[in-house]
Structures are given as structure tokens and as C-alpha cells.
Amino acid sequence: MSRLFGTDGIRGVANEEPLTPDLAYRVGRQLVATLRAERGTDRVRLVIGRDTRRSGPMLEGAITAGALSAGADCYAVGVMPTPGIALLTRALGGDGGVVLSASHNPFPDNGIKLFSSEGTKFPDPWEIEIETRLAAPDDALRATGADIGRLVAYDRAEAHYVDFLCGCFPLDLSGLTIALDCANGATYRVAPRVFRRLGARVTTIGVRPDGTNINAHLGALHPDVLQRTVLATGASVGFAFDGDGDRLISVDGTGEIRDGDYVLAIAGRHRAARGRLKGKVVVTTVMANLGLDEALRHDGIAIVKTQVGDRYVYEEMQRLGANLGGEQSGHVLFLDHAPAGDGILSALALLSVMRESGEPLEALAATMRKFPQVLVNVPVRAKPPIESLAGLAERVRRFDGEMNGGGRILIRYSGTEALARVMVEGGDGAQVRSIAADLAGLIKGLIGS
């Protein structure tokens, strides 16, 4: 049986199977039952928030009703970036946190993402227990009378989160013009408040959500509009967030896009030089550009790679005692400050390096030389094992031979969408593009949707 929970919670088209209000209601009940059993508590407290999708209130109402019926107290924080909900789960003494969001996915999608009491990703064994309970008769507590959970509208959530962010990096940003692209998502109020409080002149795009325009041609996945905005306004730097605010893509003052690899290279080298990089190690994923390896090793910084997914980066960081890690896609973890990837926090960390060094982002970015890298997403109708796709392994071996050790090929399925991802990297840009197109065409012919 396929798992309901993927690498980042339950994802799907809202109001289609499996992501229906009925499922959300049942997840709410079994989440409470699981937390009661695992944490040994009679009274469970949950923190619940969402992004700006039209389907958010529908799913929020359903999962809240389920949790209340099982006797949990629910603190509703409304529209809030995912990392803010993770933070508030810990700050409010929650036993768990719930985010209704599909992150960077298009607006018809939504998702149910769970956090632990520490604001970290929900443990895999607990997700499995919820799935097991969902498949069995419902034996969760059905509270009555005063045992029914309380619904608390926590109206201090946004102020609490803004205070936290400004406290992490109490910068003086006066004299800086910063362009923000909030993707019409969960950062649309919070991000401008943070940077204006710190003294920056702020220009914004993507701050008028209507329930259907989240991630639509804006944000971290579409930074071209931010590029034009930075150049048109003469901004010192631009920051683009995704729909739920946990990833960051930056644009420097010359209009060049700087992804998560640049954040890791800049922050890693800066912190190592000041003795603030624990273990002198940076954790990232197999998608990281080879240029990041080169930049970090130049300064004697070790680089450790995991499979794709910020939860795997976090687990490896915990194992190694590291305090900096993340993904090329823009999820970056600064564990000295927060337990989850946070786009606004990552932007502040970059600005702190700019302020301490006196260098603009374009100068700091010169610390890394990017190798040509192409990523092609192939919509698929099914996800059979990659190694079972006829002729693919042979084709990959042939191309590996042609690159003669000067590049690499990585093919995997998305954990949240019906996509096969083909990544090719090497020294010759034309060769990289040709190989990626060939492999994507082969996969499309075999399992394309």
C-alpha cells in the first residue's frame, strides 16, 4: 500500500481524493490519538495555521473539528509562514503543529504538514502510526461536555513571529533598498513588516493574495519578475519567497539570481572564518552544484550530502552537530536560530554577512563558481522504480562515459508532485543541455503523462 504521507506531509488537489475535508477531519482525530499515546498526555495542544489558498479555510476547519472532537485544544494562528507556525508550536507549548499548505505547488493543490513539539518535522514513525490508525476503525477519544477541545484564536501570532525574526538579526538596514516578492503567499504581511522595522526601504510585489494567485508566475520558482523589479528600482538586493515562506531565492544588485547554494557558500565561509561554523561542516543534498563543493573545500570546510528533502538535511545536521545546512532550492537551516527552514530568516542571515563584511551580495557571490547545471521536470503518470525504466540505465552509463568524470547525472521522482526530475551537471553547458533533453525525452516516452 502506498503511503499517504510523502516527504513533506500529505499533498494533493484540494477536495479531491485523498485530500478531502473528510480525510482532514479524520487526520485531526488520529493525530490527537497518536500524540496522546506517544507523549503520554491526556490533554493535547495543537497550533494550526495555513497559507493563502482558497481551500485553506476548508481544510483548516475540518482538521480543527477533528482535533476538537478528540479533546485537543487548538490555537488558530491564521495565515502564517510555515516556519512561523513551527516556531509558535514550540513557543506556545504545543504538542504538535499543523500547517495547511502545498508550499510552492500551484494553487489548486494543498497539503497537511505536521510538526513536533520542538517545531521540527513530525517523526516518520508517528506519521506511520497515524496512517495505521486511519486504516483501522476509529477508536480515538470522542470527547463530550467540558472535555471537548477549546478553539483559541491566537491574534498575537504575527507580532510574535516578527519580534522573533528581528531579534535573531537586529540589523540596521537604513540606506538599503530591498525588493520583496512574497508570491501572494503566507509571507505577504510578515516579510515587509520585518524589513521595514529594521530600517530598510522596501518595495514589494506578490502581496495581494486573492486565494487563487499563490505562486502564480511569482516567488521563488519564478524570480524573473523580481529580477526586473530590482533593476528598475535600483534595489540593493531582492528576496523571493515561495507560497509558505520556507525557501528563499535572492537577486543581487546586478540582477543575478542566487539560489540556496550561494547562501550556503556565503554563510558557510563567513561563519567558518569567525569560528561560528560548528564542526566546520555544511550539510546539503545530492542536488547541490559542484561549485559549492569547490567553494567550501577551498576554505577547508567539509560538505556532507543527503538525499533530497530538508528533513534529511536536518537529521544529518543533528547527527553531526552542524548548525548550517540546506538545499539548492532555497530551504536553508540555521539551527542556531530556528528548527526549520525559513526564507525570511535566510534573507536576514545574508544581510548580516553583507553588513559585517561591507560587501554587496554580488561581490559575496563571487566566492562560488557555478558549474553548468540543467534540471528538467517530466510530468509522469506513474512512478515505477527508476532502475526498471527500459534502456535508461544504459543511456546514463553512456553519457557518464562521454563526460569522463567531469560531470554527473541524477534522476529521481519528486516527493510532492507527479514529476520525474532529471539533473545533469558538468563543465560543458551545451553537452549538459543535450544530455538532459535526451534523458527527459526517454522518460517521457516511457511513463510521461
- Order across the sheet with 373-379: list the strands: 373-379, 419-426, 407-413
Is the preceding peptide bond at 125 cis, omega within 30 degrees of 0?
no
Beta-carbon contacts of residue 281 (< 8 Å; ≥ 6 apart)? 301, 302, 303, 304, 320, 322
Distance CA 111, CA 56 (A): 9
6, with CB counted inside 10 A (0-12, 13-18, 19+), is: middle
d(CA 432, CA 169): 40
Contacts of 305 (CB under 8 A, 6+ apart): 283, 284, 285, 286, 288
Which residues make Cβ contacts (< 8 Å) with residue 41, sequence separation at least 6? 35, 95
Answer whether 203's CB lies under 8 Å from 180's CB. yes
DSSP state of 111: E
Set 55, 103, 250, 346: catalytic member? 103
> Hey, how many other C-beta atoms are within 10 angstroms of the C-beta on 329?
23
Q: Which amino acid is at 36?
A: R
Respond yes or no: is residue 449 known to be catalytic: no
**Which pairing describes strands 10-13 and 45-50: parallel, antiparallel, or unpaired?**
unpaired
**Helix 260-273 and helix 290-298: axis angle, to 10°?**
10
Characterize the bridge pairing of strands 96-100 and 109-115. antiparallel
Which triple of cell numbers denotes residue 214? Answer: 499563490
Annotated catalytic sites, by residue? 103
